Structure 1
Amino acid sequence: MITPVRLPRTALRGAAEWFTHLILPRPVPIPWGPTLRAALAMAMALVTGLLIELPQAAIPLAVGSLYASANDTERAYRDRTRHIAWPAFGGAAGITVGSHLRDAVPTVALVTTVGVALIAGMISAKGPTASAAGLQILVMTALGQGLPGHTAPWWQPAIFFLCGAAPVLLLALAPSVRGWHRPVHRTLARAYAAQADLLRAVGTPRAASARRAATDALDAVERSLPGATHAVRGPAGAADPACPRCRPAALLDDLLTASEAAAALAGSQEAVPGPFAAAASDIARRLRSSGHRRGMGRRSGRATSHDLHHLAGDSPLLGRLASAYTTADHRLRVGATHRRHMRRPARDRKPTGRLLWFRAARAARLRRVALTYGLRVALCAGLATPAAELLHPDRGYWLLLTVALVVKPDAGSVLVRGMHRTLGTVVGILLAALLLSLVHDRLGLAVAAVTATALVPLSAALSYGMLTTVVAPVVFVLLHMSGVPAAHLMGERLIDTLAGVGICVVAGHLPWTSSSRRSDRDWVNHAAHTLTAYLDHLLRLGPSAERHTARRAAYRTLAEARRRLAVRHGEPARARARRQAGNLLQVVHLLEHIADVSTAHGLRPAERRAPVTHRSSPKDRTGPAP
């Protein structure tokens, strides 16, 4: 009798876990601010489009509002402005190029599209804001080729697109009238809360995961307040305790001091009394209530600064924690009576030669990553453009749009985004078909579009599949309201999506797996070199400001390498590739543990080594071996 071939239970369990993780969105809090701003901006765009009754104006207005809402987050107001404005300008440039390509010769359209894809891909490797700008350049280049209104001036779609994005930006900046620093306070509150959780987890099995969460929260604070690390310290290294203008930067300075001690405690597994975690939680609570003067300066009746120093005893690590929390408490009490806007002070510390070398090495690595990124996007766009001409000569922009949205290596695995795109498009088309069959008047369709747009910020935070599910009905409703028979295009859109995802997987994922593994090894090597620089600062007993900078650079690069390897390890790949990613991930965990233990050793004055001046060989030693 022939026995059926069964897959190993581990393989089935791994595939089931991966697919479950792919489908189920991660739990996130509801972003009420971006949700309300998205609904109001889309309502303003649709009302304006209905009043002027111009199809060539209605779609750019609504699309500009839609993509600006997708880029709206609860960041600091300066970062929020950049993250909305720069992608909007990129989208305006893309829609201008796309409108010129509608009647161009196919060869010219192909070469131009590939060139735009290469530039957009290289831009996207520079950071989150640049990634959003590069994405909108290519997306709007694709959409600009399918916009109605062939007789409109070349500048008109870009102006309407910017007018659609402007309300989102203005609404996002409206609360800044009451204080620019409040989003930074909320980010600081999350970092202090994560640090409190780390202190509670010291000595338990979840200490490592809590320390990584605290590192990610601290990275978010530094991204929201760039350049402010040690900005309030003078030449002698003493922080000004009553500087209301620099209070968020000063609180970050205290947070860095406390995080160094907390990481050292996690590495040494020294017992942490409960009032220390309670003090960190109390600071987080008062930062969340920073909009109320009384709530910001009032303690919750827990341990005072005298109690913390008494509990610290002779422990230098607990003493540093007590000093950092006492200083932060004083800043909050001063800030409750002296409320001013935050002004970021200038940094007077000149970069050292080692720092310049690391910046140059990082720039060279980013150039290599950017070129690889651009080539992947350009190759997929070069294949998608003639495929769209073969499938749908008149409306082939959807296939290029799929390529632009899926080939985003900085946002996760291309294969995972392709599956998200496919599932989200199928569900979105079904929802759009149901909506168009039930609602026929323009007012009802406008209300549905506003409601779906309000869900864009939440769906973007959940997963890319949820975002695709929400955006697809909005696009079909906008096409139907502009006079395009959207119901007849749903089958074509599904075919274009499947073809685009296939091109992304075949040309944008499979040929680049070896280069991705090399990039992973480069990131681990860079993290190891950064950690070596931090250990060198510890051995040479350098200034505290330089030690803090080196420590944050080490933990930041380790966290980035860990995130990249976690994405790679979760991909459905061959066993050898998954094993290599898992081994590199274990190396990163070991390096993080070395950083924790080294920090704990370096902060103990009795155990510190003498400053290292040179490395002697064993033959030069006169004393006993250590």
Structure 2
Amino acid sequence: MAREFPVSLTPPDWLVRNLRSHKAPVNRPAVARAAVSLALPLAIGLAVGRPAYGAVAAMGALSGVISDTAAAYRLRVLTIAVPQLFGAAGVTLGTLVNGHGWVAVATVTGVALVSGMISTIGAIASVSGLLLLLNAVIGAGLPLPGEWWLAPLLLSGGGLLVLVLALLAWPLRSGVPERAAVAGTYRAVADLLAVCGADSAVAYDDARHSATLALNEAYDLVLSHRARHHGRSPELTRLVAQLNAVTPLVEAAPAAHLSGRPLHPEVAAAIRAVADAVETGRTEPLRLRLPTPTTETARAVNHALRHAADVVTAPDVDPRGIDDRLGGPAGLGVRTARAARSAVLSAGSWRYGLRLALCIGIAQALVSLIAVPRSYWVALTITFVLKPDFGSVFSRALLRALGTVAGLVVAAAVLSEVPRGWWDVPVLLLLAPLIPALTPRGYGYQTAAITPVILLLSDVLNQQGTDLLLPRLVDSLMGCAIALIAGYLLWPESWHTRVGDRLADAVADTARYVETAFAATADPAARARMRRRLYRDLSGIRTEFQRALTEPPPTGRRAAAWWPLVVAVERIVDATTAARVRVKHGSAPPSKAEIDQVALQLRDLSQGLREVETLTPVRTDLTGPAGSVLEPLRQEVAAARAIASPQP
């Protein structure tokens, strides 16, 4: 008989979630770039008798490797080059105040405030803010070789080496990542339609979430490029048209699922054939073998699929007829400009900037008053941990500590057994590829991979060997403690889940979507953008929910209580979309009174979710004409309102 362990020995769910490895494919080109870009500068430095210069350049390459996450070549220019400019500015400021006591403390604290505020603009700005502060801390705390202007050049040169290696295949593979992203969206939609009408609601929810993520990522990738080349690139215009063409298929999925009848297997097979045509750039018409549609839902799927096939294989696309579903050809630039203004004006940006500045200020003041070897590591740890846009602060502190311990074990073997000099080059060739290979698996794995690399490079600069290990552990633990206390526990917003507020916003937006979806005068493009934003917001809520589950009680427990409502709101949006599809393909439209009643009930639910952190009772009465196209929607709204009404 299997022995049962006592309940007290079972690890808590939040800890299991934190330690769980994420499944992710290995990016082989990124692995190769990491090996070459970190080992080559050190080898050149050793060859010319300046190993310290090589180590500084390799540190710059390390930041480039961390930033090397974009798929499209043009985006890599931004994600790698722009952060390097901020990093150069940071190390210049840090070098100029190195050894100036409280002036250095004030300068680095001010840089932390700016870093935190610009980090809220977007992904590229977040990495730029990270490197700005990291390099400022390094420059202020570590005497770098050469004149004040040399370190910025070396660090930037190492980062730009990563960029050059990343762009080597651009002439041969231009546009390939974008086409692959669009094709991947079609395949995700094929997987979604394959499970429509199946008994497993979980399988449908997971497939719908995967399709939404794929569509979001493809739009972001293509529009970030097209915003700078609107109307001038036929290839990008065609990709936007192909993405727009998949929207009716996504809209038809909820209707197909709510019908309760699985679609013919040839439907998913046909969508995968369309995906192959996207990836290969085929322009010959596709011969689709589809069953004859007999219902409104089947007609919607058939019509959407044939339309997508026609758009994908069309040899030419008129750019004037293309609507970017996220807000027009310059939508990305507009969103970036708004985010930049928000970073200056919003209270959230100031709060995060002040949190980061407070923690960095405490760390810098502490190490100024107490003799701590390699004291800059304390602030470096805080900089990495206190990044809410990278995940839960609590989780990152925990994983940072565990990852540092694991990395120190490897570093101890390297520093104690490998002679200094040329032997460091093959060691870097072996250790550097682990960074891009392990980073997608989780922050703890990334920390474990980075720690021995950074310690090896630090040893080249300081020649201290294994004496670096204990200070690194102590400083990392100090940094984690400061981040947890001054940057997490003292700020109630950190340990209160935001799922409820974001759900209330989504429900209010759904009420507006219900009114727009059935309005005869509504702009189809505006309606499509509204639906896309809703699904994007719901995807973000799911991500926020998963992040909250990694927090210890009571935050994780509170987040778990919201999950039934997260699913219920997603189903409300699905039911609205399904009703719209049915009306478009033959069902009688609902009356204005019925639409207004559903919208009113949704706004009432939204207000109830805003009242307090716990769920507030709301009315559950919701009636309407039997057989109406909105009947499934009314049922989903009633179910959500029942969930939001605690039982006596």
- After TM superposition, the score normalised by the length of structure 1 is 0.84
The AA in structure 1 aligned to 2:91 is I
Change (3 A) 1:343 1:173: farther
> Which range moved further: 185-194 or 456-465?
185-194
Q: Structure 1: 5+ residue runs without aligned partners?
A: 1-6, 235-241, 617-623
Aligned pair partner of 2:263 in 272, 277, 284: 272
After superposition, give the CA deviation of every residue in 1:577-618 in whole Å (9 maximum; x if it has no partner): 3343223333222111100001000111213235789969xx
Change (3 A) 1:473 1:298: farther
**Pairing 1:118–2:113 present:** yes
Deviation at 1:244, TM superposition (A): 4.8
Partner of 1:169: 163
Partner of 1:194: 188
**Pairing 1:219–2:219 present:** no
- Say how many residue pairs are matched: 581
Partner of 2:582: 604
The AA in structure 1 aligned to 2:529 is T
Distance in 2 (CA, whole Å) between partners of 1:416 and 1:615 is 44
Which runs of structure 2 are paired with 1:50-199 in the superposition (5 Å)?
A: 50-54=46-50, 57-105=53-101, 107-149=102-144, 152-199=146-193
Partner of 1:533: 512
Which runs of structure 2 are paired with 1:20-31 in the superposition (5 Å)?
A: 20-31=16-27
After superposition, give the CA deviation of every residue in 1:251-306 in whole Å (9 maximum; x if it has no partner): 11112221111233234444311111112223334445x3xx6xx5689xxx943x
**Pairing 1:553–2:533 present:** yes
Which runs of structure 2 are paired with 1:555-570 in the superposition (5 Å)?
A: 555-570=535-550
Deviation at 1:483, TM superposition (A): 4.5
Which runs of structure 2 are paired with 1:162-561 in the superposition (5 Å)?
A: 162-202=156-196, 203-205=198-200, 206-226=203-223, 244=235, 246-288=237-279, 290=280, 296=282, 304-305=287-288, 307-308=289-290, 310-315=291-296, 317-333=297-313, 367-393=346-372, 395-514=374-493, 517=496, 519-541=498-520, 542-561=522-541
Cα contact 1:198–1:211 (8 A) shared by 2: yes
Distance in 2 (CA, whole Å) between partners of 1:24 and 1:122 is 31
Cα contact 2:43–2:422 (8 A) shared by 1: no
Cα contact 2:498–2:544 (8 A) shared by 1: no
Cα contact 1:88–1:136 (8 A) shared by 2: yes
Deviation at 1:74, TM superposition (A): 4.6
Change (3 A) 1:515 1:267: farther
Say which SS state the counterpart of residue 174 (structure 1) adopts. Answer: coil
Deviation at 1:536, TM superposition (A): 2.3
The AA in structure 2 aligned to 1:273 is H
After superposition, give the CA deviation of every residue in 1:12-69 in whole Å (9 maximum; x if it has no partner): 64x3443333223111011112112222222332233223433552233101111111
Say which SS state the counterpart of residue 160 (structure 2) adopts. Answer: helix
Change (3 A) 1:479 1:243: closer
Cα contact 2:386–2:483 (8 A) shared by 1: yes
> Which range moved further: 559-568 or 73-82?
73-82
The AA in structure 2 aligned to 1:549 is R
Distance in 1 (CA, whole Å) between partners of 2:595 and 2:307 is 38
Aligned pair partner of 2:552 in 563, 572, 581: 572
Cα contact 1:28–1:461 (8 A) shared by 2: yes
> Which range moved further: 63-72 or 200-209?
200-209
Cα contact 1:530–1:557 (8 A) shared by 2: no
Deviation at 1:474, TM superposition (A): 0.8
Distance in 2 (CA, whole Å) between partners of 1:501 and 1:538 is 49
Distance in 1 (CA, whole Å) between partners of 2:528 and 2:309 is 21
Aligned pair partner of 2:41 in 31, 40, 45: 45
The AA in structure 2 aligned to 1:159 is L
Distance in 2 (CA, whole Å) between partners of 1:26 and 1:416 is 14
Change (3 A) 1:210 1:513: farther
Q: Structure 2: 5+ residue runs without aligned partners?
A: 598-622, 626-648
Distance in 1 (CA, whole Å) between partners of 2:479 and 2:216 is 35
Distance in 1 (CA, whole Å) between partners of 2:150 and 2:216 is 41
Change (3 A) 1:390 1:362: closer
Distance in 1 (CA, whole Å) between partners of 2:141 and 2:149 is 16
Distance in 2 (CA, whole Å) between partners of 1:277 and 1:326 is 13
The AA in structure 2 aligned to 1:170 is V
The AA in structure 2 aligned to 1:602 is R
- After TM superposition, the score normalised by the length of structure 2 is 0.81
Partner of 2:570: 592
Cα contact 2:32–2:433 (8 A) shared by 1: yes
Distance in 2 (CA, whole Å) between partners of 1:163 and 1:344 is 44
Alpha carbon RMSD of aligned pairs, Å?
3.6
Deviation at 1:232, TM superposition (A): 13
After superposition, give the CA deviation of every residue in 1:318-362 in whole Å (9 maximum; x if it has no partner): 334334433443455456xx9x9x9997969889xxxx99x9899
Change (3 A) 1:199 1:59: same
After superposition, give the CA deviation of every residue in 1:65-98 in whole Å (9 maximum; x if it has no partner): 1111111125222222211112111211111121
Deviation at 1:409, TM superposition (A): 0.8
Distance in 2 (CA, whole Å) between partners of 1:53 and 1:552 is 57
Change (3 A) 1:58 1:625: closer
Distance in 1 (CA, whole Å) between partners of 2:357 and 2:328 is 40
Cα contact 2:431–2:449 (8 A) shared by 1: yes
After superposition, give the CA deviation of every residue in 1:390-416 in whole Å (9 maximum; x if it has no partner): 444562100000000111111111111
Distance in 2 (CA, whole Å) between partners of 1:435 and 1:395 is 19
Deviation at 1:519, TM superposition (A): 4.1
The AA in structure 2 aligned to 1:104 is H
Aligned residues with identical type, % of pairs: 29
The AA in structure 1 aligned to 2:168 is A
Distance in 1 (CA, whole Å) between partners of 2:506 and 2:73 is 31
